Chains A and B, each alone.
Chain A
Amino acid sequence: MNELQYLIGVIIAMALATYFTRLIPFVLFGTGKESSLLNYVAKSTPPMVMMILVVYMLKDVNYHSFELVYTFLSIAITIGLHVYKRNALLSIVTGTAIYMFFVQM
């Protein structure tokens, strides 16, 4: 097997593995209309996952450095702006710009 065949094999294997993980619930649960428990789980999952994703993104922040300060400053500004204006793009772009300013400073 040469280099390129190996790479193509890896890409196809990864594509299948990834698609499989995303497809499983649809195959297992069909349209999911019957179960009220499943409905409840489906409704509760987004807020839980969002909370988890936020914690996940912050887990590598160095807690003994200036990084902690500007990370939370950027988040505070993102939250404040979003609560005040409720314009997702504006909040995200402003928060990110402030973060980038401190990182590149």
Chain B
Amino acid sequence: MKFLIIVLFGFFKLLFIEMIQSAIKVSLPIMFGFVPLGIAFGLLFQDLGYPWYFASLMGIIVYAGAAQFMAIGFLSVGLGIVEIAMSTFFLNSRHMFYGLSFLESFGNWNLRKLYLIFGMTDETYALLTTIKVPKSFQKERYYLYITLFSQIYWVFGCTIGALLADILTFNTNGMEFAATALFVVLLIEQWIMVRKLLPFIVGFISSIIALVFFLDHMLLVAIMVSIISIVLLRLIKVNHYE
């Protein structure tokens, strides 16, 4: 009996370590994107003259790349809190559509689910919708590790940037391309998984439409146009078969 417990315990321990290792490995591309971007944010934030740890605090409780950069501009001109909240909401409103893909896979309502929802940035959304979770792993826990590590990279970047604003010399120019490369790789992986041209074409055409007509809100408009189009196409197709 005792032997069995030891074996079982060892097995679980091994599985967790394995899961954490795997989560770190899978989330490394996000690290290459988040750390330099976070450093860039920290550097700019430091120009505002606030204590460095507020850069970390923003990374911890706001955790939104584009919105944090936007906030630097707003803070420097002293824009009202309500206006900043509304701008943040509109800037991040594309995230409303991201949750649709995780309605079931985030599991039951608990603290973990609340955190998984909190941590859904462009990068984590892209990664979580693309990876295959190994059968031996509990999905929600694996997602939790990936989301947590991603945020740690971001907070680390923000903090380092703010702390080292005066002495940082490493030239990170061009490292932001890691995000582009990550999305390109995930696009290929999506193609391997989905093997249907339609969503890719709809996504591409929607991007072009949004670029031409709504350059300032390209991301949100493109996502809205693509979802509306795919819904309409589906409805037409369903009616066609009935």
Which A residues are closer than 8 A to B by beta carbons? 3-4, 6-7, 9-26, 29-33, 37-38, 40-59, 71, 74-75, 78-79, 82-83, 88-89, 91-93, 95-96, 99-104
Which B residues are closer than 8 A to A by beta carbons? 25-26, 28-29, 32, 50, 54, 57-58, 61-64, 67-68, 71, 74-75, 78, 81-82, 84-86, 88-89, 92-104, 106, 113, 117-118, 120, 122, 125-126, 129-130, 171, 173-175, 177-191, 194, 196, 198-200, 202-204, 206-208, 210-211, 215, 218-219, 222-223, 226-227, 230-231, 234-235
Q: How many whole Å from A6's CB to the nearest CB in chain B? A: 7
Residues from chain B with Cβ under 8 Å of A20 in the complex: 89
Nearest CB in chain B to that of A12: its residue: B61
Pair B103/A31 contact, Cβ less than 8 Å: yes
A contact face: mostly helix, strand, loop, or mixed: helix
Given contacts A15-B61, A31-B104, A92-B185, contact A53 B230 (CB under 8 A): no
Pair A99/B185 contact, Cβ less than 8 Å: no
| Given A15-B63, A18-B95, A42-B101: 13 more A-B contacts, CB < 8 Å | A11-B54, A18-B92, A22-B95, A25-B96, A26-B117, A46-B190, A46-B194, A50-B186, A51-B207, A52-B207, A55-B204, A96-B175, A103-B174
Residues from chain A with Cβ under 8 Å of B186 in the complex: 50
Q: How many whole Å from B228's CB to the nearest CB in chain A? A: 10
Q: How many whole Å from B234's CB to the nearest CB in chain A? A: 5
From the candidates B85, B103, B113, B173, name the one contacting A104 in the complex (CB within 8 A). Answer: B173
Complex alpha-carbon distance, A100 and B207, angstroms: 26
Residues from chain B with Cβ under 8 Å of A91 in the complex: 181, 185
Pair A44/B230 contact, Cβ less than 8 Å: yes
Pair B58/A49 contact, Cβ less than 8 Å: no
Q: Which 7 A-B pairs have the closest CB atoms?
A: A51-B203, A25-B99, A103-B174, A48-B203, A32-B103, A100-B174, A55-B207
